[in-house]
Structures are given as structure tokens and as C-alpha cells.
Amino acid sequence: MSRLLAGVAAGAILCAWAGHAAAAELPGKFEGVTVDAKLIGGQQYEALYARIAEWERATGAKVNVLSKKNHFELDKEIKSDIATGNITWCVGSNHSSFAPQYPDVYTDLSALIPKEEIEGFVPTNIEASTLGGKLVMLPRAQFDVSALYYQKSLYADEAKKQAFKEKYGYELAPPDTWQQVADQAAFFSNPPDFYGTQFAGKEEAINGRFYEMLVAEGGEYLDADGKPAFNSEAGVRALDWFVNLYKAKAVPAGTTNYLWDDLGQGFASGTIAVNLDWPGWASFFNDPKSSKIAGNVGVKVQPAGSSGKHTGWSGHHGFSVTESCANKEAAASLIWFLTNEVSQKLEASAGPLPTRTAVWEWAINEAQNDAYKKEVLSAFQQAAQHAFPVPQTPSWIEISNAVYPELQAAILGDKTSKQALDDAAAKATQILEDAGEL
């Protein structure tokens, strides 16, 4: 267990959970109050929102969900609200990768949430949720780092094992390196009916995947001076990995338009061999009601690149309260309710990784008699040991929005990888200069 917790904190020493000293004061009473909210939507995030009705009954308040979108669309909506001075709502979904863009939008939760409750979270998650000395969001049970899901039966097929060894010269087994993933993806693919792998091909999703592959290839996204450095030999190797898979038709033709829900549904359809994905899909993939490969899912630590480093792009979701909120206490109560132990157990039971220390202990105990859950926890324990955040710049999302079309251009064959990365680096440099960061 101690190794698991250390892995989740990416090597940090964790404090013990501090208990419920202030729990009796929450959720409070807010008769007649309406809390307007803008929330992330998507299969792995939705189950939690059923608890909103419980909070309403307990407090006498109401929640008015103004919008529910994927985080890329939600980010655009929030930026539009900022530009028009229309931050009239109270609660917003947030993410450690997106939060640095909004330094003045969200209030300091440490003044609204009891200290004992804050101490119940994994310290590194709280640290990553604190910007400029302000605790800008409470983490939900959605700590994200990706591990590799695969169809077990493919690796038990004797004919496939023999054919693979004859072609590639090594044994067919769940891959340990990204080169092995590329080999196996090409080997397993039978388009248009079956593909070796897939990836999200637009928005921050492809930029994040490129970023972690760049790190695994020994490169860096921004150098020590904060300048774009991804148009390097390591960057070309990283981007070529995506380019070559697309060229080989080892990924679906529409992959450059895919986001996370597309990947989840794709792997669950049984038409994908191996799939790098988030912990929130673990239960979905192994549920016969939602997945054609239930009972046939293996999970292991994400592969390593040519440098020996593993991919490990990570972050976590949370909820924030706006500075302009008319009733911050009610809003803070709501986001506490959506991130408390009961809520985190609800989310973690489906596979997502919790951000409360006590819920980690609960999840470990719950998995003792479930072989699949134990496999999932073990895989993500190892995955978390390789976790690293996005480059520490408030311009990360703006840079992503400029870089991803260039990555797409290379994948689709419109530019060479080097040309695309040079053009992307020039755009990123301009963004950082305009922001005063260079």
C-alpha cells in the first residue's frame, strides 16, 4: 500500500488522512440559493452528478447546470465569458492543465473549506491545485495518468504468436516499449475491421500525447529558459511514431478527429488491439453491458520510449468557485460534496484514481477479491510512478491550440515531421513572447 500511495504522488511522501473534524459543519443550509454551474461532460464523469440531487435535499439549495461539455469546449466557453465579462456563474469544472490560464477567475478555497478537509487530499494533488498561493480547485477522484489496455486473447493465439515471431524476431507479448506497440499495431491491423491501436488526434489531446512521447524519446517541450525545444531529433522521432502508424493504416482513418470518448467507445467495441488510456475507463471496458471485450481486458504499465523513459503525461480534474459568485459558501459546499469521501468512492469504484488518501486505502481493500481491479490498481500504481505534469506555463493550452494543427498536418502527410515541428515551434514562441514569458 505504501508503494501505491508513493506512486500516486509520483514519489512524494504522503501524509495520513486527517479525519472528519469539520465534517459536521458541512454541507450546511442554503435555503433559496441557486448555484449556477458549468461542468465537464463525458461517460467517465457523469455518474458523480447524480449526487447533486442529494446535496440539494441536504442544503435546500438548487444547482442550475448551465452547460456540460468536454473540457476543450468548456475551456473555449469560459474564455468567451472572460472576454465578455460574463462570469456570472459560481462553480466550474477545472483541470490542473487548464487552471493556470485563469489566475483571477477562481477564488481561494482555503478560506472556504475547513483545513481538516483539505488535509484529507493527497498533498501533491493539493499542491498542483494551488496557484500563486491560492487553492483554486478541489480535486475530484479523477487523477489521470495513462496505462496500456490490451485484448488478452490476441496474446494467447498460437498462430499469431508464431507468425509474429517469424516476422519481427521476438516473442509476442503485451508490449514494454513504444517500438513494440508500433510493431504489434501493424501486425494486428486488418482495416477497416480491426486496428492495432488508436490515439486522440486533435486539441490538447494530441499535443499531450506528443509531449509525453517526446519525453519518452529523451526530448523536452520547453527548455530551461522556457523556449520551445520540441522541434528536435527526439521530437521528430516522437511525431514519426504517430505518422508511421497512420501511414501503415494501423489506426482508424478518423483518428485525427478523435477525442477521449471516441477512444473509449472504440476499444470497448472490440476493434482495437492495444489502447493507451485513462483509469476512468477501466470499469467500462470490463462491463458486459458496455463492452464487447469484457473479461478479455489486460492492463499494464505504459511502455517506454527509446530513451528508457516511460510516457506519463498526467493531471487531475477538480471543481472551482468563481470570485464573482454571489454565494461562495454554498458553492464551496457543493464542490466539497462532489469531492468528499462518498463521492470519491463512487467515482473510484468505476476505475478512476482517487485524490483522497483514505479513499486510496478503501480502493486497495475493495480490490482484494477482484482479480481485474487488482490488476488495474497495480498497473496504475506503476503508471503513477512515471507521472509528470504539463510544462509549467499559463500558455500551455494556447500553445496546444496552435501546435495540434501542425501535428495533424504531419500525421496526414501534408508536411514532414520536421517542417511541422519547426512551424509549431515558431507559433509557440510567438505566443510565449506575446504573453511576456520570453
pLDDT at 246 over 80: yes
Summary mean pLDDT of the chain: 92
Q: What is the pLDDT of residue 124?
A: 85
Sheet holding 62-69, edge to edge: 62-69, 34-40, 91-95, 314-321, 138-145
SS3 call for 43: helix
d(CA 210, CA 205): 9
Least confident of 203-212, 264-273, 342-351: 342-351
Strands (E), 310-392: 314-321
d(CA 143, CA 243) in angstroms, rounded, equals 29
CB 387 within 8 A of CB 278: no
Percentage, residues of the chain above pLDDT 90: 86
Distances (CA, A) of 88 to 35, 38, 58, 72, 135: 10, 11, 24, 20, 20
Note the pLDDT of residue 19. Answer: 32
Confidence of residue 169 (pLDDT cuts 50, 70, 90): very high
pLDDT at 130: 94
Beta-carbon contacts of residue 297 (< 8 Å; ≥ 6 apart):
149, 150, 151, 152, 285, 286, 291, 372
Give me 396's grid cell. 500551455
Q: By the 8 A CB rule, do 39 and 67 touch?
A: yes
Q: Which residue has the cell 514562441?
A: 429
DSSP assignment of 368-404 equals TT-HHHHHHHHHHHHHHTT-B---S-TTHHHHHHHHH
CA atoms within 13 A on the CB side of 347: 31
Q: Is the pLDDT of residue 33 over 60?
A: yes
pLDDT above 50 for 343: yes
Q: Residue 16 — very low, low, confident or very high, per pLDDT cuts 50/70/90? A: very low
Contact by Cβ (8 Å): 337, 347: no
Distances (CA, A) of 214 to 162, 229, 250, 310: 33, 10, 21, 10
CA distance 278 to 263: 10
Q: Does residue 41 carry a pLDDT above 80?
A: yes
Cell of 213: 512521447
Q: Phi, psi (5° rounding) for residue 195?
A: -130, 150
Residues 381-389, mean pLDDT to the nearest whole number: 89
Query: Using 50, 70 and 90 to split pLDDT, how confident is the model at 109?
Result: very high
Rounded Cα gap, residues 19 and 358, in angstroms:
9
- pLDDT (0 to 100) of residue 117: 95
Pairing of strands 130-131, 134-135: antiparallel
Predicted pLDDT at 21: 32
Rounded to an integer, the average pLDDT of 422-426 is: 98
CB atoms within 10 A of CB 407: 26
Average pLDDT over every residue of 290-306? 98
Per-residue cell: 418: 520536421
Which segment of 11-25, 153-167, 252-266, 374-388 scores lowest on mean pLDDT? 11-25
Would you place residue 26 in the very low, low, confident or very high pLDDT band (cuts 50, 70, 90)?
A: confident
pLDDT at 23 > cutoff 50: no
Ramachandran region, residue 258 (left: φ > 0; alpha: ψ -120 to 50; beta: rest): beta
pLDDT score for 381:
85
More confident residue, 109 or 351: 109
Is residue 404 within 8 Å of 206, Cβ to Cβ?
A: yes
The Cβ-side half-sphere exposure at 22, using a 13 Å CA radius, reads 16
Over residues 71-90, the mean pLDDT reads: 94
Tell me the C-alpha distance between 14 and 354, whole Å. 14
- The answer to whether residue 428 scores a pLDDT higher than 80 is yes
Mean pLDDT along residues 431-437: 96
Residue 1's pLDDT band, with cuts at 50, 70 and 90, is very low
Q: pLDDT at position 17, please? A: 29
pTM score of the predicted model = 0.82
Mean pLDDT to the nearest integer, 86-94: 96
Task: Residue 144: name the closest of 96, 94, 200 by CA.
Answer: 96
The three cell numbers locating residue 13 = 511522501
pLDDT greater than 50 at residue 9: no
